[in-house]
Structure 1
């Protein structure tokens, strides 16, 4: 059976190349990697892509970035390039990001339930209708799922919160790329988009947060048990 090709962002490719570099060079815990400037030249990438890659590698304990001192190998065993370790690293990374997403998006849900305008309620309603159509036709729902959550940040009407979200949006998108190719993640959280929307539209903060946390709990459980 042909497997769906997984899209990769530049920072994902960069992180893989850094892991390969550590392996090929036989670096051990505490060994120093080339500087950020040297890495951008070696890899032929921009600083932003390198920065995202280093954030990911730090999250899964492969490297440690020490301000003013450099980039160091953090765990001499974790970089072993095997399928099993890659999955475990991905799980660890997603769980770290999920902690951040709970806090950030949870606040967005709270503010959206308080501040959402009738215009934005209608936009979210239309988004859900589009979601329903995709779901009923058996189409990929990842893009419309991501769009729904973006509407929550828009409805929160806090430019700074939205800016913080945008700064890590590439990392959060990992949830909407079907982590590990697990389509069940979208199937299992699908019903809670409607109940979450109902809470926001009715300006019921407690109900909206309860439904949001149910959704996050399902995502966490799915990742942990994969």
Structure 2
């Protein structure tokens, strides 16, 4: 291969390095997913109707075919869209919140411990993938979130939102749009319980600061196994806050 060809492949979008394009990819898919959700929530595409063709979405949203497919796939997983033979992809739920609502209603029959176990499995893998894909900017953001959480704990202020941002930042670094969406939904479902525990259980706060630092250190070091184990330990400890029935 000639040097010119090699450089062209390494920089497929002009002067933008290929690795930078990969870093941006997850956020692009998320943006397209949000735009599709907006089409549904505004009634542009109603429940029971077929979503526009891939080529139409590509033109309308200004993205490539693979990005459109990933965004649609995410909404299928979340129960907002459904693929049907001979009809294509149709809208089955009016809003993205319908997915969280379905999960929320199921909490009555699911034990919170089970939800923590699901989070430990999913977020453990997200942390492991993050260790392989994280950028310096993302690592710095995670460290800043750790510092913010620690300051809020020291001053006795609530930190659920900062904690949520930390976990979603780890998920975002995994570059897996389905993991990101699913983790976000489950965290939303568990919000009330987690906020109460953060306020009422004094053991949770110092342990959170220790756990978060261990997770970030492992991710920054590129230690996938260590990141997975640290995240799972963190969430299994959190599960201990759930009272026995």
**How high is the TM-score relative to the length of structure 1?**
0.57
Change (3 A) 1:113 1:50: closer
> Structure 1: 5+ residue runs without aligned partners?
1-45, 62-91
Partner of 1:97: 115
Give me the whole-angstrom Cα distance separating, in 2, the residues matched to 1:127 and 1:133.
10
- Give the Å deviation of 1:126: 1.2
Report the equivalent of 2:108: 60
Aligned with 2:172 (options 118, 136, 154): 154
Which residue is equivalent to 1:209?
228
SS in 1 for 2:156: coil
Distance 1:112 1:152 in 2: 6
**Aligned match of 2:65:** none
Structure 1 pair 49–143 and aligned structure 2 pair: CA distance change class (3 A) = closer
Q: Does 1:130 align with 2:141?
A: no
**Mapping 1:143-182, distance limit 5 Å:** 143-179=161-197, 182=200
Distance between the aligned counterparts of 2:186 and 2:150, measured in 1?
28
* Gapped regions of structure 2 (runs ≥ 5): 1-93
SS class of match (2:222)? coil
Change over 3 Å in CA distance of 1:95–1:196 after alignment to 2: same
Cα RMSD between the aligned structures?
A: 2.7
Question: Which of 128, 139, 155 is the matching residue for 2:157?
Answer: 139
8 A Cα contact 1:101 1:172, kept in partner = no
The answer for the alignment partner of 1:29 in structure 2 is: none
* Structure 1 residue 220, shift from structure 2 partner: 1.4
Q: Aligned equivalents of 1:179 and 1:118: distance in 2?
A: 32
C-alpha contact 1:142 1:186 (8 A) present in aligned 2: no
CA distance in structure 2 between the aligned counterparts of 1:49 and 1:156, rounded to whole angstroms: 23
Corresponding position: 1:190 with 2:190: no
Q: Secondary structure at the match of 2:164?
A: helix
Q: Which one of the candidate residues 216, 222, 225 is aligned to 2:241?
A: 222
For 2:25, the equivalent position in structure 1 comes to none
Which whole-Å CA distance do the structure 1 matches of 2:178 and 2:103 have between them? 21
Q: 1:94 to 1:207 in 2, by over 3 A?
A: same
Deviation at 1:191, TM superposition (A): 1.3
Instruction: Normalising by structure 2, report the TM-score.
Output: 0.53
Asked if structure 1 preserves the Cα contact closer than 8 Å seen for 2:126 and 2:170, the reply is yes
CA contact (8 A) 1:59 1:93 kept: yes
- Count of residues paired in the alignment: 151
CA contact (8 A) 2:103 2:189 kept: no
Equivalent-residue separation in structure 2 for 1:225 and 1:191 (angstroms): 26
